[in-house]
Amino acid sequence: MTDAQRMNDEQSTLWNGSAGRAWVESQDLLDRMFQPFEELLAESAKACTDGRILDVGCGAGGTTLAMARVQGVQGRCLGVDISEPLIAAARARQGQDTATVEFLCADAQICEFDPASFDRITSRFGVMFFQDPVSAFTNLRRAARTGAALQCIAWRGPEDNPFMIAAEGAAVSLLPDLPTRVAGAPGQFAFADREHVRRILIESAWADIDIHPIDVRCAFPESQLIPYLTRLGPLGRVLAELDVRTREQLITTARAAFEPYVQGDTVRFNAACWMIEARSR
């Protein structure tokens, strides 16, 4: 097995297992938390009211459905994700709106999309998990019509996003063997380096590349803070394996680390991201 195949299997196992289930359980929280990004992408979708949009790494489908609402009956949206649990959740939210929205469980890196069939390709935090991003963006470009727009949002580095690493940073004193994030590996901060992202797009033959920083204020109810830190991220994935006393210590320690972000009954933080835009040749 090659390293690429191994990493792809790891991502598939993760998102069809503990991570996928955690995101389904946290669907309402995540939708509220990332609503500003959903609004950004939906606003951009107004330029494609009668075309086809591909939403890569669509998760539970919130952004896909938001773009479909903006498009109206003339447009079509396809949401694709590697996670069966998340695609099942997306289809459950879809309701009767099957004429303009479709959800597909597939790996966008290798999925055989119809060539030159999309007018817009978009993603909210879904493109950082490819084990071979050049192959992935080449595959997406083949699926794009000439002149089609690419618009993806990805996280900048952990140093710009202290909120995102607060739980694991607080937990390291109690869990020194907590898995660490590997720079450049598939995951949340895989696209932290702007020039790395630019090279990926150049090598996959995208044109008119523009990668610029955006800082977005996000918020969610303080009552959801404990579910957030115990379900998601590296800490969320190891808590179930710990004894009750250690788990309680970790939760207390991690919760204290978020105190600077709590304002009354609301948690507020800055999400430091890249807006990645390009066009197919």
Q: 235 with 227: CB under 8 angstroms? A: no
The reported pLDDT for the residue numbered 15 is 84
The reported pLDDT for the residue numbered 2 is 45
**At CB < 8 A and 24+ separation, what contacts does 104-107 make?**
104/78, 104/79, 104/80, 105/80, 105/81, 106/80, 106/81, 106/82, 107/8, 107/12, 107/82
Neighbouring-strand partners of residue 272? 215
**Per-residue pLDDT tens for 96-140?**
666 689 999 999 999 999 999 999 999 999 999 999 999 999 999
The reported pLDDT for the residue numbered 5 is 46
Decide if pLDDT at 1 tops 70: no
Cα gap 110→159, rounded to integer Å: 32
Q: pTM of the prediction?
A: 0.92
Q: At what angle do helices 84-94 and 18-25 cross, to 10 degrees?
A: 30
What is the SS3 assignment for 34?
coil
The reported pLDDT for the residue numbered 162 is 97
Tell me the fold of 3-156+182-218+272-280: Rossmann fold (3.40.50)
Cα gap 72→67, rounded to integer Å: 9
The reported pLDDT for the residue numbered 97 is 60
The reported pLDDT for the residue numbered 259 is 97
242 by Cβ neighbours in 10 Å (0-12 / 13-18 / 19+) ranks as middle
**Per-residue pLDDT tens for 241-250?**
888 898 899 9
Cα gap 232→29, rounded to integer Å: 11
Q: Which of 167, 164, 254 is nearest to 216 (CA)?
A: 164
Q: Which of 111, 102, 109 is nearest to 53 (CA)?
A: 102
Tokens of 8: 């792809």
Residues contacting 157, CB < 8 A, separation 6+? 189, 192, 193, 272
Q: 96 with 138: CB under 8 angstroms? A: no
Q: How far is CA 263 from CA 45, 220, 272, in A?
A: 33, 11, 20
Q: How large is the average pLDDT for residues 21-47?
A: 94
The reported pLDDT for the residue numbered 96 is 61
The reported pLDDT for the residue numbered 235 is 82
Decide if pLDDT at 11 tops 90: no
Decide if pLDDT at 175 tops 90: no
Q: How large is the average pLDDT for residues 234-243?
A: 82
CA dihedral 51, 144, 152, 185 (to 10 degrees): 150
Decide if pLDDT at 4 tops 50: no
Residue 178 backbone dihedrals phi, psi, to 5 degrees: -55, 130
